[in-house]
Amino acid sequence: MRLSRVEFAVMNSSVRRLILKWIEFRLFSSFLKKHSVSITGGVILDAGCGSGYSTKLIGARYNPRELVAFDIMPEQIELANRRYGRARFFVGDVTEINSPSDKYDAVFVFGVLHHIPEWERALREIHRVLKPGGHMLIEEVDKKGVDFVEKYLHFSHPKESRFYWTQFVEELQTAGFDIIKDSKIIFNIFHAYLCMKPVTNGR
């Protein structure tokens, strides 16, 4: 889903960058450290990368041997290419990721799925492109949070993209993920998760 003009401006603001750096990304890094997960030098995907600020943080912190990022909006990818030339950016859809199966050691997802009517399909796609034993770091907002920002900030989100946390957890498990860590960020509106694609069949 494309962002409205208002939300596009908010998502590319200095305030959003500060929140991403000092709250979301910092929390993800603490998850990895606490659970002794090393993704340094790995193959990493930033799904729904926006203007590339999150991609830049990932590259600086984990020095991946391959860093790939995509967003559905060409305008964001144009900004991302200017911001961080070390990654491979492309216009893409998280419900149909243009990557081979079992490719990535880690996938980062910063508040993307609540924009997507087929968010359950997106989870299955992320699971597909992760290597067995790979990790997904995902931050999301639930239905109550989406309803709140729509009412007071005049953002627009599809009705089908809204979920309660019990539903979200069920879909993570249905997609095939093991949930390693779940943490609230702001009350019970935002959550962050560290999930793993299990190793099966000797892989």
Which of 131, 161, 166 is CA-nearest to residue 147? 161
Q: What is the pLDDT of residues 90-125, one digit of tens each?
A: 999 999 999 999 999 999 999 899 889 999 999 999
From residue 117, how far is each of 2, 37, 81, 95, 157 by CA, in Å?
Answer: 12, 31, 27, 10, 9
Instruction: Please give the single-letter amino acid code of residue 154.
Output: H
Give the three-class secondary structure for 110.
Answer: strand
- Print burial letters for 144-166: b (CB count within 10 Å at least 16), e (below 16): ebbeebeeeeebebeeebbbebe
Cα distance between residue 102 and residue 27, in whole Å: 25
Fold of 5-196: Rossmann fold (3.40.50)
Q: Rounded to the nearest 10 degrees, how much is the dihedral formed by the CA atoms of 117, 119, 125, 131?
A: 160
Instruction: Record the pTM.
Output: 0.92
Which pLDDT value is given to residue 75? 93
Domain boundaries, the chain: 5-196
Judge contact between 24 and 183, C-beta under 8 A.
Answer: no
pLDDT number for residue 61: 97
Distance (Å, whole) CA 59 – CA 101: 22
- Which DSSP helix (H) or strand (E) runs through 152? helix 143-153
* pLDDT tens figures, 20-33: 899 999 999 999 99
